[in-house]
């Protein structure tokens, strides 16, 4: 290869390796609320890209301290039940042992909860899967050109700012009150963290690494698959983890609102509430909470599996 490059004085030379650490470009569109914080913070989750070493010798405290808080919370629960509520109003907050004996150890109740849980799980993960596909594609498109980012990012922020609850009636109005409508709620509610974290990850690549790829003639696709995607994996998984939790929320919220179709945990919650079935209501709430927690942990674990070899995810360890 022989290249001869003769240059006349020209105007602005282009700068290669279009690395942008400033992810938020919606400034002109008036999205100041979002501009102030990095995307993980907008999403209400933990900042994924901060590394921190765990202190040594804190192992026992790591377990004992949360357990102590747990014991305190149970104590508070008992206190409210027995000290604050008079027996006639105790159904508002039945004591823990009643929740266990009347709900968790009650066959028919658990069957109902199990069925509802399964429906909710299906809605949650279908919605999450769709949000992943849309969110990653959206971020990839934005990562390709500055124009695409400028035109599309404000709408991602808008999606985050609109209270999805306000859209739920409309979604029911358009799509009915069944499975598809519930999935749509989940997608809308869990999309933004995936979009923003993926974009942030794709743009987190060092300038010199981009230049290395430029020097050796890498095209867009090669750059995306061999450089940007692998580099973005920690951020993408942090996004997944936040979104998974939100998707559980979406599934239950949709359920509570629609009150039709296959009953999930939301409908069950509402039924128990209206029938003043305190222990059953509490059991369902606990199951819903566990679903959220387990989902969060599973995605943290998946992230560790995917990038833990080279990226320190100890900060995220649940």
Q: Which residues bind other proteins (CB under 8 A)?
A: 1-13, 15-17, 206, 208-209, 211-218, 222, 226-227, 230-231, 233, 307, 309-311
Ordered alpha helix ranges (H), 162-277: 164-175, 179-202, 207-215, 220-222, 229-258, 265-274
Question: With respect to other proteins, which residue has the nearer C-beta, 26 or 303?
Answer: 303
64's tokens: 């004992």
DSSP structural state of residue 88: G
To other proteins, the closest distance from the beta carbon of 133 in angstroms equals 23
Question: With respect to other proteins, which residue has the nearer C-beta, 158 or 218?
Answer: 218
To other proteins, the closest distance from the beta carbon of 225 in angstroms equals 11
CB of 82 closer than 8 Å to CB of 95: yes
Cα torsion 282, 284, 286, 288: sign: negative
Question: With respect to other proteins, which residue has the nearer C-beta, 151 or 209?
Answer: 209
To other proteins, the closest distance from the beta carbon of 232 in angstroms equals 11
Question: With respect to other proteins, which residue has the nearer C-beta, 180 or 230?
Answer: 230
CA atoms of 222 and 104, how far apart (whole Å) = 53
Q: How many CB atoms lie within 10 A of CB 153?
A: 24
CA atoms of 37 and 305, how far apart (whole Å) = 28
Q: Is residue 86 left, alpha or beta, with left meaning phi > 0 and alpha meaning psi from -120 to 50?
A: beta
Question: With respect to other proteins, which residue has the nearer C-beta, 225 or 260?
Answer: 225
To other proteins, the closest distance from the beta carbon of 233 in angstroms equals 8
Distance of CA 98 to the CA centre of its chain: 33
Question: With respect to other proteins, which residue has the nearer C-beta, 116 or 202?
Answer: 202
To other proteins, the closest distance from the beta carbon of 91 in angstroms equals 55
Question: With respect to other proteins, which residue has the nearer C-beta, 112 or 223?
Answer: 223
Residues 6+ apart with CB under 8 A from 53: 312, 314
Question: With respect to other proteins, which residue has the nearer C-beta, 117 or 307?
Answer: 307
To other proteins, the closest distance from the beta carbon of 201 in angstroms equals 12
To other proteins, the closest distance from the beta carbon of 139 in angstroms equals 19
To other proteins, the closest distance from the beta carbon of 48 in angstroms equals 15
Q: Which of 84, 102, 101 is nearest to 93 (CA)?
A: 84
Distance (Å) of CA 78 to CA 99, 102, 157, 195, 234: 12, 17, 43, 43, 42
CA atoms of 190 and 250, how far apart (whole Å) = 8
173's tokens: 């109005």
């Amino acid at each position: 290869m022989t290249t001869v490059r003769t240059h006349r004085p020209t105007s602005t030379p282009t700068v290669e390796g279009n690395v942008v650490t400033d992810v938020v470009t919606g400034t002109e569109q008036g999205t100041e609320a979002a501009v102030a914080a990095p995307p993980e913070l907008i999403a209400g989750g933990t900042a994924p890209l901060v590394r921190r070493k765990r202190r040594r010798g804190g192992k026992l405290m790591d377990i004992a301290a949360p357990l102590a808080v747990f014991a305190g919370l149970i104590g508070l629960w008992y206190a409210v039940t027995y000290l604050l509520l008079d027996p006639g109003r105790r159904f508002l907050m039945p004591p823990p042992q009643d929740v266990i004996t009347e709900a968790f150890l009650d066959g028919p109740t658990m069957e109902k909860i199990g069925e509802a849980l399964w429906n909710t799980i299906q809605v949650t993960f279908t919605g999450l899967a769709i949000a992943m596909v849309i969110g990653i594609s959206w971020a990839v498109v934005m990562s390709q050109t500055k124009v695409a980012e400028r035109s599309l990012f404000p709408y991602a922020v808008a999606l985050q700012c609109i209270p999805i609850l306000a859209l739920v009636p409309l979604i029911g109005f358009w799509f009915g009150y069944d499975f598809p409508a519930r999935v749509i709620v989940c997608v809308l509610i869990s999309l933004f963290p995936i979009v923003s974290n993926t974009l942030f990850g794709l743009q987190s690549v060092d300038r010199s690494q981009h230049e290395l790829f430029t020097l050796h003639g890498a095209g867009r696709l090669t750059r995306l698959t061999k450089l940007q995607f692998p580099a973005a994996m920690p951020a993408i998984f942090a996004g997944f983890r936040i979104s998974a939790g939100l998707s559980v929320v979406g599934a239950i919220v949709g359920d509570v609102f629609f009150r039709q179709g296959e009953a999930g945990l939301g409908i069950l919650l509402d039924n128990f509430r209206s029938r003043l079935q305190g222990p059953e209501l509490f059991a369902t709430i606990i199951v819903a909470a566990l679903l959220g927690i387990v989902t969060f942990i599973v995605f943290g674990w998946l992230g560790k599996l995917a990038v833990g070899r080279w990226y320190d995810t100890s900060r995220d360890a649940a």
